[in-house]
Structure 1
Amino acid sequence: PVNMGAQTLMTQGRIKNKSGFSSSDIISNGSCIHVYDNQFMILTDGGKIIDYTAEPGYFIVDNSSQPSLFQGQFKASLKDVWERFKFNGSSPQSQKVYYINTQEIKGIKFGTRNAINYFDSFYNAELFLRAFGTYSIQVTNPLLFYANGCPRNATQVDVPDINEQYLNEFLEALQAAINQMSADGERISFVASKSSTLSKYMADALDETWRDLRGIEVISVGIGSISYDEESQKLINMRNQGAMMQDPTIREGFVQSAVAQGLQNAGSNPAGAGAAFMGMGMGMNAAGGFMQSASATNAAQMQYQQQQYQQAQYQQPQYQQGQPAEAPQGGARMKQPGEWFCPECGTLNAGKFCMNCGTKKPE
């Protein structure tokens, strides 16, 4: 081969003699063609295929015999393609040799130009993401690729030469694959770790246009990073913060942090600490009932959780060696003195306001 690089799909062979490469690319009868590993050699005449081999080694051109057609690892998959594209003319006049790279070609970069919509059932919302990464392809039917995937009269084809068309088709299939993952219920935060699943979806989406028409397949897709648009990121942050606030310990820390931040802001007020604290005092008087109730509710819930834990530990049956264990007695927990059920949502509370919806305790 003239030049078979890491991103090369097809290159033309050149004649080499004792003094180096010949200026002529015409292969004569009796020539010896060297085929390396992971290469598929095609012998053509006037653009039509007259012979090929998928087996590494030395190939002797013999125009007086039938085509060799060494299938290698491709075996019978090339038979139908050969019948469509084989040479049916007279004696060969202008023979040339081409090499197809059958090794996996890695590191082809991609990035979504526009955000892709993704419905996440966990957040119960339509989110929008952008994906960046690399993918790899492999020529799985060299005869199809030579006939339908290579530009006419090209002596060498590298990935950048055909990347624009292929990238557009790849991104279209990527969107379909990501939408399929959404339909299957995958969380949006797991997309980057589902490379094998995404590769399978991509291969299925591109089978008709890539594998069946051009003889290439997507082998792997690696997501380097996932980013969200501004509105999606705000929604995710809000939902995550809401989930954290279900913990009474975190809620109480948030209340105390808000009070401390207010004191700090008052001390740094350029209008004077006295005026700032006066205004802050008025605000705290107005909101004091809610703040105290919130802290009381948090404390009651934390105390209740601690009591439940201690009670479970205390009631855990102790068995003596050799005695059979008795089945624990189940039952619903009774409402304790001072506790009340919220008339709006039914949550059990111990403070003045419902810890779930904020409804005030009935008088």
Structure 2
Amino acid sequence: MGLITAAVSSISGSLADSWKEVIEPEDMTDSTLLVKGVPIKKGSNKRGTENIVSNGSIIHVFPNTLMLLIDGGKIVDYSAQEGYYEVNNSSSPSLFNGELSETLKDTWERFKFGGAPSQRQYVYYINTAEIKGIKFGTRQPVNYFDNFYNAELFLRAHGSYSIKITDPIKFFTEFAPKGTDRIEIKDLSEQLFNEFMDALQSAINQMSVDGVRISAITSKSRELSKYMSKTLDEDWTELRGIEVCSVGIASISYDDESKALINMRNKGAMMSDPTIREGFVQSSVAQGLQSAGSNTSGAGNAFMAMNMGMGGAGGFMNAASQANAAQMQMQAQQAAAQQQAQQAAANTWKCSCGAENTGNFCNNCGSKKPAPAGEWTCSCGTKNTGKFCGNCGAKNPNEEWTCSCGAVNKGNFCNNCGAKRS
């Protein structure tokens, strides 16, 4: 038993009279994974004989589907090419791959059926389009070690992903529940969800190893899809013929303990800056003065209480401000020293005798520091490196120019005809 191509144009022609029935998928939606073919009798919408695909019947294959011709529970032929096919008991399997990978034929070799036609034939259609909008969400927080915070954090992730059946024969024989005429994505959602979440944990852990900051995960959907595809490759692609197409992270939230750690780390990073600490001290004093001035019990009493409080805390705030000032001064000194070191490095030059120097003369042989390449001194005394003097605007006399007579010169007059440089 096998398939032969039927001309599409003959659907309304004379050959239609010889067709016993046309088989089509029944109510296939975007979330349908597998559905049984329905025999439709010529001239009516009534179904034909159950479990028998008559010789000469026509099977209609729609876009983004793979049709399986089943005999006695085994696959005898398939087609992933859109069109009409005639069932011919005397023909060999034709194996119309369509746009699916050639590896599909390798899977066929594992599951093909070579026996004689039986009395129980079926037609199944498998959806090969991308199945989108499959929701996921972590039931428990997922651990994530963030190298930036140097802490084990916990997050919750919600979003959706999409899958595609890339090896329909493997999916049908290895994963699809047997004895069912219809499979929707919801029928497998619990099993897929559990396996997906295990893979998500592994993918997130790998992103942690690769140094991705926890706050950047939402912008790494494409990378996460690659991690997921790699993690699920053996279980889904190799064993079930399914692959993950995309993963979209809609939201990421942290548990309360992780939030506290992140906030503490961020606050600590801010308060390590002495200018921010000093601003905090001064704003606290200003806020105290403002509160005292608006006290309903009387500003005088409030200021008196504030002065008493300041007397006790003044020493601490004074010490804090002095520490802040000292650290700011130290930072300024370090910045100045770094700038001086950079300038010294930029001014260092090597003499022809091999000695390195920073002044205008070599400290070994006394040779004068050579002028930088391209440097020239204008008649006004300014040193320049460009084409014009930065002080008076005069042209560089050492720059070559071509006279109207054709001579190439340096200086302000042509050495051939004496014409002045324009």
TM-score, reference length from structure 2: 0.68
Partner of 1:36: 62
Deviations 1:194-217 (A, max 9, x none): 122211221122122111111101
Q: 1:161 to 1:175 in 2, by over 3 A?
A: same
Partner of 1:252: 278
Partner of 2:18: none
Q: AA paired with 1:125?
A: A
In 2, are the aligned partners of 1:31 and 1:61 still within 8 Å (CA)?
yes
Partner of 2:231: helix, strand, or coil? helix
Partner of 2:311: 285
What is the CA distance between 1:225 and its match in structure 2?
Answer: 1.0
Partner of 1:351: none
Deviations 1:9-42 (A, max 9, x none): 1111212343224264542211111112211110
Partner of 2:83: 57
Larger C-alpha radius of gyration, 1 or 2? Answer: 2
Q: Distance in 2 between matches of 1:115 and 1:145?
A: 32
Q: 1:3 to 1:264 in 2, by over 3 A?
A: farther
Q: 1:173 to 1:285 in 2, by over 3 A?
A: same
Which of 9, 27, 40 is 2:33 aligned to?
Answer: 9
Q: 1:290 to 1:55 in 2, by over 3 A?
A: same
Alignment of 1:159-198 (within 5 A): 159-198=185-224
Which of 314, 320, 329 is 2:384 aligned to?
Answer: 320
Deviations 1:89-128 (A, max 9, x none): 3323222211111111111110011111111111111111
Alignment of 1:1-363 (within 5 A): 1-16=25-40, 17-22=42-47, 24-25=49-50, 26-266=52-292, 276-296=302-322, 298=324, 301=328, 305=332, 320-322=384-386
Q: Distance in 1 between matches of 2:294 and 2:114?
A: 91
Q: 1:272 to 1:98 in 2, by over 3 A?
A: farther
Q: Distance in 2 between matches of 1:162 and 1:149?
A: 10
Partner of 2:401: none
Q: Distance in 1 between matches of 2:265 and 2:118?
A: 72
Give ranges in structure 2 of 5+ residues lacking alignment. 1-24, 348-381, 388-422
Deviations 1:335-360 (A, max 9, x none): xxxxxxxxxxxxxxxxxxxxxxxxxx
TM-score, reference length from structure 1: 0.79
In 2, are the aligned partners of 1:63 and 1:92 still within 8 Å (CA)?
no
Greater RCO, 1 or 2 (C-alpha within 8 Å, sep 6+): 1
Deviations 1:210-248 (A, max 9, x none): 111111011111111111111111111111122223444
Q: Distance in 1 between matches of 2:47 and 2:151?
A: 65
What is the CA distance between 1:277 and its match in structure 2?
Answer: 4.2
What is the CA distance between 1:251 and its match in structure 2?
Answer: 2.7
Q: 1:34 to 1:121 in 2, by over 3 A?
A: same
Q: Distance in 2 between matches of 1:291 and 1:271?
A: 27
Share of identical aligned residues, percent?
60
